[in-house]
A and B are shown apart, each in its own frame.
Chain A
Amino acid sequence: MTPADERRRTVSVQGLARVEGEGSLRVEVRDGRVEDVELQIFEPPRFFEAFLRGRRATEAPDLTARICGICPVAYQMSACAAVEDALGMRVDRGIADLRRLLYCGEWLQSHSLHVHMLHAPDFLGCQDAVEMAQQHRPAFERGLALKKMGNRIMEAVGGRAIHPVNVKVGGFYRAPSRADVAALAGPLTDTLDLALATVAWVAGFDFPDVQGDYRFVALRDAGRYPLESGRVASSDGLDTTPGGFADLVVEEHVARSTALHARLENRLEYLTGPLARYALNSAELPDVAARAASEAGLGPACTNPFQSIIVRAVEIVFACHEALTLVERYEPPDPPTAPVPSGGGEGTGATEAPRGLLFHRYRIDEGGVISAAQIVPPTSQNQITIESDIRRTVQASLDLSDDELTWRSEQAVRNHDPCISCATHFLDLTITRQ
């Protein structure tokens, strides 16, 4: 077919029903113009907000960790930060460092899975991870090794590789021994080399020339790349506390989707995640990561969404280096947790999940029980911008065949690693022409 001849094209990607993740994509093109884009995502946090009411605030980290098997630490960290903010708690540097180390483990797990097994196939023409493993075995094995390093950190600090059990409001149930943490140093040194090889590998991919006009939002954390704490900043000058930011976010229900769409006041859309973190914090990267970024051709900011795979790879380098630094100066915090005061209050916590800013807000009554909860995951915040990306990408790619256009549209979704990204690898496609 010659797509340009068609007056009207519909690109429709129907999702297979899944227990936790369900997404679909529909794009309408009429007379050579993209008329409508709908990305539909099923969002589990909505249910969690309801059932958190009536539970003890100290249960929030373990309960919300179950929202996602890929980023449970992000949910635990944001939950702890919100409860501690509500109760006026502060944790010692040693506890904060241990949280940061745990978070590095999660970034390694999540980013290496996405870069090597979910995103790279898009650039290499592979249908899935199995084809990747067959055709690009060394790179695939490098991804497995990086993910395994993330598992080791999670096991050492969190007690197990998935859904860590050692995190609590105020800190940790038990501080890992000095020897257990020191044992991570050697493997981390080797892993850092693998991470650098990954940056060089993805930098060699062919990228469509698409530039986004993004309003970036990410944490900024006084002289270091953000993970588990910081103020919320934006590329157009916002600088506020997590609570101040939560006040600015308006969530709206859209009839066609079960997901809430988040905007800033005045209906401004925005983007969180690696591109945003990098744009607002690239000057804070350690030398080894900054050098890798520069050699990969990145400037101080990157606005080509397809190149998010390079930024993610640079963040893998950062996570390895940061973890190594934290391991080398580790002293078990004693006690491993701050005392949790009685009473209530209202508080907000924001941390950087692998795929973007995740904030929790709780109201806690005087008995220590949650009376209201709000959980805003990165995918919900990014959804409108992802739709804008798809619109821009499809508009610039109308000369492609239907198959190619669908592939390119799915890529535009996966660029942002939303919580449906692996579902979109297994979607059925129908194209209707009128």
Chain B
Amino acid sequence: MTGAGPPHVVIAAVGNPLRRDDGAGPAVLEQLRGELGDALVLGALASPLDLLGAWDGAGLAVVVDAVGGDVVPGEVRVVEVDLRDPQGAPTRTAATASSHGLGVSEALRLALALGSMPARVVLVGIGGDDFGEGVGLSPSVSAAVERAAQVVTGLVAEGLAVVR
């Protein structure tokens, strides 16, 4: 990122690679290492709380995270967050793999409360299968990493084009 102003595009992954498929988000960022141009890459956050402050003033924030619920393992689901009501964002985050952390959903609600929400927030969710202890992604999730990376690349290019 160049210039002193707030970053226009911020990208972060959430998840714990030691909780198997919870590491899908960090795996996507690893795949894209060095390929995200002028976007501010926050890297893999252990706590979504760390999004607060780092993404203030951004035009676009992309958060890559493993998700559970009704998302089938290996599915890549792109969710445009409703900035007035971020409650419905589907996530399975560090909050469920930690007794203390707050989830992406809480981070979004906190950003709303603090008036520091980026202009646009997109969640790239990857359906997980196994969130148990251990390293390595399930085969279906591993296969989805490439597709998710392409989605992220497209979103970042779109976001950066706005300021060019």
Contact = CB atoms under 8 A, between A and B. Distances in A.
B99 interface: yes
A422 to B, nearest CB: 5
Given A69-B46, A129-B106, A162-B47, A21 B113 contact: no
Interface size class of A (residues with CB under 8 A): 20 to 34
Contacts of A66: 18
A144 interface: yes
Contact of B99 (A21, A137, A163): A21
A2 interface: no
B113 A161 contact: no
B100 A113 contact: yes
Contact of B114 (A20, A140, A148): A140
Given A133-B114, A423-B99, A162 B46 contact: yes
Interface string A134-163: 100100110010011001000000000111
Interface residues of B, number: 23
Contacts of B131: 19
B114 A19 contact: no
Contacts of B98: 19-21, 69-70
A21 B100 contact: yes
A384 B102 CA distance: 28
A130 interface: yes
B53 interface: yes
A413 interface: no
A419 interface: yes
Contacts of B52: 144
B99 A20 contact: yes
A70 B106 contact: no
B100 A141 contact: no
A128 B94 CA distance: 18
A420 interface: yes
A18 B102 contact: no
Contact of A419 (B16, B99, B101, B102): B99
Given A20-B99, A69-B94, A423-B99, A130 B47 contact: no
Interface of B: 16, 18-19, 46-47, 49-50, 52-53, 94, 96-102, 106, 109-110, 113-114, 131
Interface of A: 18-22, 66, 68-70, 113, 117, 128-130, 133-134, 137, 140-141, 144, 147-148, 151, 161-163, 419-423
Given A69-B94, A140-B114, 15 more contacts: A21-B98, A69-B16, A69-B47, A70-B98, A113-B100, A128-B106, A129-B110, A130-B110, A133-B113, A141-B114, A144-B52, A147-B49, A162-B46, A419-B99, A422-B99
